[in-house]
């Protein structure tokens, strides 16, 4: 029997991938499955981006690149941030990474160890907690509450900080709730962080360009007073429908940048060159397809929220960002994971049970609207029939 290190007894994963595997298995067995479990846009990467990737390979860009990424891409990221947010960032502190996930992996590795506390959103992206546990740090959930419209509360977050807190993970717009934390709350949080200079902040803004109802995403980059301890996580996966290209970027404080670079050298050397050239085309080319995609998500959001609220014993707040609805199903009498599983097996609709996103996820399911309006309507109909039949 091989003996691996104890940390692997504590590592978790993303159940969304297991649901996807089961949904695929059922579909291959001939069942008609509607997948609302998925966390990736159901759109093609815009053609001009695909062409740039192909051209890069034809032009001979198939070798290693510098570990932090090719300079024109890091400069394009800085220019894009300036265009969108009016904030200057140093391209020399931008790391190109193979997907947004890698930034959280690195940041949590840098601050997690036994004796350290790391705060993270619950419900939230499951990899935060998984990696915190892997490092031996204490995971401290920051509750994300329905009655606060799934924004985080500055006061509650600050109240959880102790002298042992090393890292605070934030995510807005949020997975799985679609919650967007308003500017005032973020102002309050940053003001309070002045009392805790030992706390680094990892802000996961991967859905930053997906907000609705005219609500502006408030980036943590807007606060120069925390720039020396801010790690910003962003990437191309969601904004440009590029999940499979494995391309993300992060901004690091000067003190941490070289550690991130060393981790990349030890783990993967660099992101594949063609993806990086495609990333430049994404940032510098036309943005209309990306905007159209968000407009389409907005239309579907209306369909999904109205449809969920019409289901027996289900209520759903209007999500303000990302492409997820997060209905409260506690009044159905089902445990959330059992409901998600029964919906898949019996009604052919894949959704994710809230507990897959944290302890506070009980009573909720995540419904992704990265699927066609027609499929969303069919899924809602099936869910309604299923719940009505079970209640009868
Ligand atoms: N952060 C959040 C909140 C996410 O939902 C996801 C993907 O679902 C990621 C990060 C990871 O993105 P990537 O596919 O670029 O690694």
pLDDT confidence bin for 77, thresholds 50/70/90: very high
| 6-44+288-391 and 63-284 share one fold | no
What pLDDT is attached to residue 16? Answer: 85
Alpha carbon of 243 to ligand 1 centroid (Å) = 9
Mutate to test the pocket of ligand 1, among 237, 268, 357 (most ligand atoms within 8 A of CB): 237
Q: Tell me which residue has its CA closest to atom 7 in ligand 1.
A: 39
Residues with CB under 6 A from ligand 1: 39, 99-101, 125, 171, 175, 204, 206, 235, 237, 243, 248
Mutate to test the pocket of ligand 1, among 177, 238, 247 (most ligand atoms within 8 A of CB): 238
What pLDDT is attached to residue 280? Answer: 98
What are the CB-based long-range contacts (under 8 Å, 24+) for 355-359?
356/14, 356/15, 356/16, 356/126, 357/122, 357/123, 357/124, 357/125, 357/126, 357/175, 357/176, 358/121, 358/122, 358/123, 358/124, 358/126, 358/129, 358/141, 359/122, 359/141
Mean pLDDT of 216-233: 97
Alpha carbon of 304 to ligand 1 centroid (Å) = 22
What pLDDT is attached to residue 128? Answer: 98
The CATH number that domain 6-44+288-391 falls under is 3.90.1150.10
The domain ranges of the chain are 6-44+288-391, 63-284
Judged on CB neighbours under 10 Å (0-12, 13-18, 19+), 287 is: middle
Mean pLDDT of 16-27: 92
Alpha carbon of 189 to ligand 1 centroid (Å) = 23
Mean pLDDT of 194-199: 98
How many CB atoms within 10 Å of residue 28?
Answer: 9
Say whether 139 sits in a helix, a strand or coil. Answer: strand
Asked whether the predicted pLDDT for residue 157 surpasses 90, the reply is yes
Identify which of 374, 385, 286, 276 has the alpha carbon closest to the alpha carbon of residue 34. Answer: 374
Alpha carbon of 206 to ligand 1 centroid (Å) = 6
> For 257-271, how does the pLDDT look when each residue is reduced to its tens digit (9 = 90+)?
999 999 999 999 999
Say if residues 99 and 263 touch (Cβ distance below 8 Å): no
How many CB atoms within 10 Å of residue 213?
Answer: 10
Say if residues 204 and 233 touch (Cβ distance below 8 Å): yes
Class of the CATH domain delimited by 63-284: alpha beta
Asked whether the predicted pLDDT for residue 232 surpasses 80, the reply is yes
Asked whether the predicted pLDDT for residue 392 surpasses 80, the reply is no
Rounded to 5 degrees, what angle do the CA atoms 31, 34, 35 make?
A: 120
Identify which of 169, 167, 233 has the alpha carbon closest to the alpha carbon of residue 200. Answer: 167
Mean pLDDT of 126-146: 98
CA–CA separation, 360 and 300 (whole Å) = 26
Q: Which atom of ligand 1 is found nearest the CA of 171?
A: 3
Q: Which atom of ligand 1 is found nearest the CA of 125?
A: 3
> For 323-334, how does the pLDDT look when each residue is reduced to its tens digit (9 = 90+)?
999 999 999 999
> For 27-58, how does the pLDDT look when each residue is reduced to its tens digit (9 = 90+)?
999 999 999 998 899 999 999 999 999 999 99
Alpha carbon of 107 to ligand 1 centroid (Å) = 14
């Amino acid at each position: 029997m091989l003996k691996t290190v104890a940390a692997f007894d504590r590592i978790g994963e993303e159940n969304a991938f297991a649901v996807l595997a089961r949904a695929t298995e059922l579909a291959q067995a001939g069942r008609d499955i509607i997948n609302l479990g998925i966390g990736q846009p159901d759109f093609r990467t815009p053609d001009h981006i695909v062409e740039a990737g192909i051209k890069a390979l034809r032009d001979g860009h198939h070798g290693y690149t510098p570990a932090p990424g090719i300079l024109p891409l890091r400069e394009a990221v800085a220019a894009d941030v300036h265009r969108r947010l009016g904030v200057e960032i140093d391209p020399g502190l931008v790391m190109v990474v193979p997907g947004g996930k890698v930034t959280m992996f690195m940041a949590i590795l840098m601050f997690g160890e036994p004796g350290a506390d790391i705060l993270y959103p619950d419900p939230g992206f499951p990899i935060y907690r998984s990696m915190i546990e892997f490092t031996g740090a204490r995971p401290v959930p920051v509750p994300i509450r329905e009655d606060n419209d799934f924004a985080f509360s500055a006061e509650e977050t600050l109240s959880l900080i102790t002298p042992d807190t090393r890292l605070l993970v934030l995510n807005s717009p949020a997975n799985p709730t679609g919650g967007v934390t308003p500017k005032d709350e973020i102002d309050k949080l940053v003001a309070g962080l002045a009392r805790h200079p030992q706390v680094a902040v990892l802000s996961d803004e991967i859905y930053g360009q997906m907000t609705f109802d005219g609500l502006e995403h408030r980036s943590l980059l807007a606060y120069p007073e925390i720039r020396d301890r801010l790690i910003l996580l962003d990437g191309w996966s969601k904004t440009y429908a590029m999940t499979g290209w494995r391309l993300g970027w992060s901004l690091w404080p000067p003190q941490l940048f070289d550690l991130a670079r060393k981790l990349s050298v030890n783990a993967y050397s660099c992101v594949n060159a063609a993806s990086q050239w495609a990333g430049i085309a994404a940032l510098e080319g036309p943005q209309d397809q990306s905007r159209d995609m968000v407009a389409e998500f907005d239309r579907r959001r209306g369909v999904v929220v109205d449809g969920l609220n019409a289901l027996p014993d289900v209520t759903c707040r209007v999500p303000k960002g990302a492409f997820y609805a997060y209905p409260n199903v506690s009044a159905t009498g089902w445990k959330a994971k059992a409901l998600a599983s029964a919906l898949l097996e019996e009604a052919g609709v894949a959704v994710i049970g809230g507990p897959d996103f944290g302890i506070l996820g009980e009573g909720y399911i995540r419904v992704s609207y990265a699927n066609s309006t027609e499929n969303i309507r069919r899924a809602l109909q099936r869910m309604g029939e299923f719940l009505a039949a079970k209640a009868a």
